[in-house]
Structure 1
Amino acid sequence: MRYAEKAVGSLNRAIDAVGVTKSYGAVRVLDGVDLAVRAGSVSALLGPNGAGKTTMVRILATLTPPDSGRAAVAGCDVTRERGGVRRSISLTGQYAALDDLQTGAENLRMMARLAGMSSRGAKARAAQLLGQFDLTGAARRRVRTYSGGMRRRLDIAAGLVGEPSVVFLDEPTTGLDVRSRQTMWSVISDLARSGVTVLLTTQYLEEADRLADRVAVLDGGRIVAEGTPAELKQQVGGHRLDLTASGRGAFDRLRAGLGSRVLHADAEERRLSVATDGTAGEVRRLLDEFDPACDLVERFGVHGASMDDVFISLTGNTAASLADGGTVGTRATGGTSGEAARV
């Protein structure tokens, strides 16, 4: 029995990678990546620019060979059985691969014919996909007239012509406005409900949180954490306490006093975050511990841990901002935390 068949068949994995490495010259892009994706699920590969996300997808899609390690997709080894992998997958990159001079219907019919369908079958499949992706009304329009969101939907539809069992979406909502992004999220969720396995790469933390059954965080060519969004949030604290210091000196004193407990620090905004269980008693205890004289903390807020916190904590990336919302309090001079009880 082939390694891939054994791995996928016994563990119900649509994707199974072990120890994958890839270098370009002296640059080690992937450094022993292990990745397992359950069949029929949505998994997200999350990481900063340059983390190796796209390279990993290219290896799984047989576009780039790994230097070492092994990987199987849909029961086929990505180096020894590339034809089998390619018959089972669809890959949608960051930019739509469509013919702007053709209509939406013509693009899909062309893809279906290239996949070996008869003229009648191609027409029927194109009509089915246009309806599924809410593009029937634009079927006869040239693609160059489509909005960004429509082009992305058509691009994914084109990739589904051959009914693949595994779909790779490499940053599928890059450049889309909020409404178009939400539409794409619905499309991806529908794919998973139909039984298709989806692996998406993204830099949008909300996207991974909302769509993925499991998230793998890739940083510096390694998987630094993996789990459900809830599990990853729990790793950095079920809640966080956001603090605004009363001045730059106060910020420096707080940061020094909190040490390794700081999840995020922004000197310009004088804000720091630490983990907490979210209860009023715990918040009072923390405030009294590191600000007993009530002169360092100007304002505070308690929030549920977000994927921003996961990203910052696990990748060391400080670019993500604190999430909006939550309960905000102002410390009173008597050492109480009046608003915290309402969290």
Structure 2
Amino acid sequence: MSTSTRGHSSPAAVSAVGLRKSYGDKTVLDGIDLRIPAGSVFALLGPNGAGKTTAVKILSTLITADGGQAQVAGHDLATHSQAVRAAIGVTGQFSAVDGLITGEENMLLMADLHHLPKREGKQAAAELLERFDLTEAAKKPASTYSGGMKRRLDIAMTLVGNPRIIFLDEPTTGLDPRSRHNMWQIIRELVSGGVTVFLTTQYLEEADQLADRIAVLNDGRIAAEGTAEELKRLIPGGHVRLRFTDPAAYRSAASALREVTRDDEALALHIPSGGSQRELRAILDWLDSAGIEADELTVHTPDLDDVFFALTGPDGTAHQPNQPNQPQENAR
């Protein structure tokens, strides 16, 4: 996972306060706040219909918000939309690639749209095609490309204008695991080069692998925001599992330890724990002092799947555990 050292001290590449959007009587965004430091990966998680794509469309100037304020790359979204467009790149889950022309022609078309001189456009296209491992396929129609190749071409086209902020709306939807991992590496390389990435995804592992900060969007509101580790700590259920092969040792431990859940069939005990080093040392010290030997010790902590399901209820209503970095009760 990307480190979270790129924190709030960095200048904001994207900031928004109270963004709202409705279609008829359907509220899609209900006053969301965002702050994304420059040179970081921000992941917006949420179920279908939560408002992820709407947020991207607003911040990339494709549609206007009904309320709230936002700045992207230091430019006000409402008053300097042209400057925002010049600073960003956008690639969606539905590729902008034209399948009727070659990969190289797609790149040169993008260079023309950015008004690059012919020689500069050809050079940029060649460099990006090489960077994204598409040189061999450059002269072939894009319709012959695999899904992963089309997605790489889409991002390469986005980079022709050298944007400092890139919006990736579900960039790996429909890709096989190998192509997905290749895309993750591309995203890491972009960020190491100083690019800010705003990522929407339904893949929890993707957010866990890539994002410095994650926000969970549910029913138009941000239910929680933080690093992956902060979000995981919101959800109870972490425990240490001790497994025994000696029934007598199991019974001794079960009777001596407090607040344990027994699994008599597996000769295993579950001890509530956040998995910290101090807690693990205390358990091991206790076992040593009691002369009890467990055959296996494993730590189980909630993952982002647990966070996602806890915050996005089956009825579409977010549960509300204690949330980090949320000073105002209804700020999100």
TM-score (norm 2): 0.75
Is 2:32–2:222's contact at 8 Å kept on the other side of the alignment?
yes
Q: Cα distance 1:238–1:37, how it changes in 2: closer, same or farther (>3 A)?
A: farther
Matched, 1:116 2:120: no
The code of the aligned residue for 1:106 comes to E
Distance in 2 (CA, whole Å) between partners of 1:220 and 1:308 is 18
Gaps of 5+ in 2: 1-8, 242-269, 284-297, 317-332
Match of 1:230 in 2: 229
- Structure 2 CA distance for aligned equivalents of residues 223 and 150 of structure 1: 33
Query: Deviations 1:123-175 (Å, cap 9, x if unpaired)?
Result: 10001101111111211111011000000000011011000010000000001
Matched, 1:307 2:304: yes
CA contact 1:21–1:67 (8 Å) conserved in 2: yes
Identity of aligned residues (%): 56
Count of aligned positions: 263
- Who is 1:196 aligned against? 195
- TM-score of the two chains, using structure 1 as the length reference: 0.72
Q: Distance in 2 between matches of 1:227 and 1:25?
A: 32
After the TM superposition, which residues 1-343 of structure 1 pair with which residues of structure 2 at under 5 Å, given as runs? 12-237=11-236, 239=238, 276-278=273-275, 303-317=300-314
Q: How many Å apart are 1:240 and its aligned residue?
A: 5.2
1:79 is aligned with what amino acid? A
* 1:271-293 residue CA offsets vs partner (Å, 9 max, x unmatched): xx9974356898xxxxxxxxxxx
CA contact (8 A) 1:237 1:276 kept: no
Cα deviation for residue 102 of structure 1 reads: 1.2
Q: Which amino acid is the alignment partner of residue 139 of structure 2? A: R
Runs of 4+ in 1 over 4 A off after TM superposition: 278-282
TM superposition shift of 1:234: 1.3
For the residue of structure 2 that corresponds to 1:160, the secondary structure is helix
Q: Distance in 2 between matches of 1:102 and 1:274?
A: 61
Matched to 2:302, the amino acid is: A
Q: How far apart, in 2, do the equivalents of 1:274 and 1:22 lie?
A: 46
What residue identity is the alignment partner of 1:48?
Answer: P
Shift of 1:110: 1.2
Deviation, 1:98, is 1.1
Q: Tell me the alpha carbon deviations over residues 178-214 of structure 1, each in whole angstroms, 9 at most, x when there is no partner.
A: 1110111011111100000000000000000000010
Counterpart contact for 2:41–2:191, Cα < 8 Å = yes
Per-residue CA distance 1:315-334 (angstroms, 9 max, x = gap): 22599xxxxxxxxxxxxxxx
| CA–CA separation in structure 1 for the residues paired with 2:274 and 2:315 | 23
Q: SS at the partner of 1:45?
A: strand
Is the CA contact (8 Å cut-off) linking 1:93 and 1:171 kept in structure 2? Answer: yes
Alpha-carbon separation, structure 1, partners of 2:272 and 2:122: 56
Is the CA contact 1:312–1:318 (under 8 Å) kept in the aligned structure 2?
no
